Each structure stands twice: as C-alpha cells, then as structure tokens.
Structure 1
Amino acid sequence: MTEIRTPRLILRRWSDDDLVPLSEIHADPEVMRWIDDGSTLDLDATAEAIERWEDEWDEEGFGLFAVELLASGELIGAVGLSVPEHLPQVMPAVEITWRLGRSYWGQGYASEAAQATLEFALQDRGLDRVICVNRAGNEDSENVIRKLGMAEDGTLNHPESGALLSLHSIDLTEYEA
C-alpha cells in the first residue's frame, strides 16, 4: 500500500471511511468552484470519484491520495496525480491536483501535500514531467504552484465550461536544480 508521511500529514489510498468526509468537502460550493465546472458533488458522485481514483492507481500506479492530519487522523481532502484526459491539448501528461476542505485552507497543508506528491511523481514513479492546470483567478492555488517551482506554459480554455485555465509544468531536471 502506498503511503507518504510528511511532518503533519499522511497521504494514503482511499478507504470506505473516507466517503462521508470527502462528500462533505465536495458539497461545499467554495471548495468546488475551482474544480471542473464548479458543481458540487453529492455522496454518489463522490463515491464514483473515489472509484475512478482507485482505478487510476491500479492502472497507472498513481492517483489521488486521501490526505489526513497525522495528529488526529481526520480526512482533510485529496491531493495526487491524474491523467488529464479531459484536456486533449495537454496530452500526454500527468497532472498534480488538490482539493482540501475549506477549514484547512491557509495553513500550508496543500503545499505540504503537493510537494510530497511531486517528489513521489518524479523520484518514486519515474515521471519526467508533471503539469498543473489552474483556473484563472484561483490565487491560492497559484501560490501552491509557485512553491512547487513550476513554470507557466501558457493558457487554454476548458473544453466544456470554456473557463480560462493556466498551464504550468516542471520537469525532473528543473526539480533537481
């Protein structure tokens, strides 16, 4: 079982106990406004998302981690890697992505988990390059992206919603520098 420990977090595969707390995060319009078309997700849609992420783990050897606080075991969100097939203009690619419950914003958890995930991607999984796609205006995520050392690669529009997205990337040589 793949698990990463950081000073404050555990990044791990999903369990049945994660469904309800993640569905509560997915039900928050403030959390979801930056994700896909901005729609909230109910319990069934959250279960489908976890199933997709677990399938990606089985097929690709990576996926989104459940992120919990080391001190309490409380689920605070999801951070991990995915193949952004919904954005054919960036393929082939592996994207780092995150979503945390609103009460965990502004505490450095997203940066801590994303940095551990980036190291996992480039050093453990042997990926040569990782991208990040961010919706224009999401300054909090832009800050995380900067902390990861990613360079901006331009913009594109979401194929379904038309939202302006910024594309960032980092490769193994840039990461090691």
Structure 2
Amino acid sequence: MLRAWQEPDKARFAGMCADPAVMQYLRPLPTRASSDAWIDYQLEHQSSHGFCMWAVELRSSGAFVGAAGLMVVNFSAHFTPAVEVGWRLARAFWGQGFATEAGRAALDYGFRELDLREIVAHASIHNARSHRVMARLGMSHNDADDFDHPRLEEADPLRRQTLHRALRSDWLA
C-alpha cells in the first residue's frame, strides 16, 4: 500500500538505504541526514505537485517495505519535462511482486487521477531487476532513448541509463 510518510519511517528508510544491495544501482544516501533530507524532499514534492515517492507498507502487517511513486524529473534530458515512476524496496521484499504492484498503483494514479499523457522510468543499464519491473508494467523501451544521467560523473558506472515509457492511451486501453 502506498501512503504518506510518517516520522517513524525515517529510521526505517535510513536502515534500508544503508544496505549496499539496495543502493547498488542508486545514488547513495550515505548518512541519516541525507536519507531524512530525501524524505523531506518527498514531502515538499507532495505539497507542490500532489504526488511523490510515497512510503510503501504491507497491508497485512503494516511492515515498512520501502518507497514508490511518481516524481517530476528534476534534471534536463531529451525526454524532459517528464514525470517518472520509481521504487526502492528493502531487500527482504525483493522478488515478491511488491515493486510491480506499487509501480502499477503509481502509474494508475498518474494516468487516471493526474491525467498525465506519459510517465517515464529510468534505471542504470546494469539494473536488470528494475528493467524486469518496467517490462511487467508494460512500459516500452527503445535503445535510442537511453541516455547519460547529467548528474553523474563520466566515470560513474551508473551514468548510462535506460529509459522506459508508458502512455496513458495504452494504459487505459
């Protein structure tokens, strides 16, 4: 279930971001202060845009799973301006369909409630797990759309990104 952030989530999120496996293909949040700032940014984004990367929890137990949702892409690239869908889950919840379920809920919200025409997703070319989630969500990929992330140094192995797209017309069909 996607929900608003709560104060206790900050410690859980920081713990998740301290796991090298979780952060392998993501820009690092190396300190508690940086992970708290990430959540504060989500809260500001929600206030400004009506959506963000929300907290994800299990309906059955209330366990903290991670974060997923929608964000305005905050860098310039050939596909911007754009809204992206994304997810970041604690390792204990990998491989159980939670990223796909959360991504589907976020896409549905973006297309049905926000009336967005297109939503993108991007990930390191090495992040096979996220590429599989994007495919399960029905997002299309064209090699010509792949790009170098402008906020990452040339030597950074995460710099090269794949871009996937979902269209409202396809989603609602």
Q: TM-score, normalised by structure 1?
A: 0.89
**What's 2:100 paired with?**
111
| Residue 88 of structure 1, CA deviation | 3.4
Q: Deviations over 1:142-168 (max 9, x none)?
A: 111001111114210112234210011
**What's 1:52 paired with?**
41
| Residue 42 of structure 1, CA deviation | 1.8
Q: In 2 relative to 1, CA 18–85 (structure 1 residues): closer, same or farther, beyond 3 Å?
A: same
**What's 1:169 paired with?**
165
Q: Distance in 1 between matches of 2:113 and 2:60?
A: 25
SS of residue matched to 1:73: coil
Residue 138 in structure 1 maps to residue 127 in structure 2 = yes
The sequence identity of aligned pairs, in percent, is 31
Unaligned stretches of 5+ residues in structure 2: none
Unaligned stretches of 5+ residues in structure 1: 1-9
**What's 2:69 paired with?**
80
1:28–1:40 CA contact under 8 A, matched in 2: no
Which 10-residue stretch deviates more, 157-166 or 15-24?
Answer: 157-166
* Aligned partner of 2:21 among 30, 55, 70: 30
Task: After the TM superposition, list the runs of 4 or more consecutive aligned residues in structure 1 that deviate by more than 4 angstroms.
Answer: none
| Residue 43 of structure 1, CA deviation | 1.1
Give the length in aligned residue pairs.
Answer: 166
Q: Deviations over 1:114-147 (max 9, x none)?
A: 1011001100111111000111021111111001
Residue 152 in structure 1 maps to residue 133 in structure 2 = no
Which 10-residue stretch deviates more, 26-35 or 158-167?
Answer: 158-167
Q: TM-score, normalised by structure 2?
A: 0.91
SS of residue matched to 1:90: coil
Q: Distance in 2 between matches of 1:51 and 1:119?
A: 24
SS of residue matched to 1:16: coil
Q: Distance in 2 between matches of 1:87 and 1:17?
A: 34
Q: Distance in 2 between matches of 1:88 and 1:143?
A: 23
Q: Distance in 2 between matches of 1:71 and 1:161?
A: 42
| Residue 41 of structure 1, CA deviation | 2.8
1:29–1:40 CA contact under 8 A, matched in 2: no
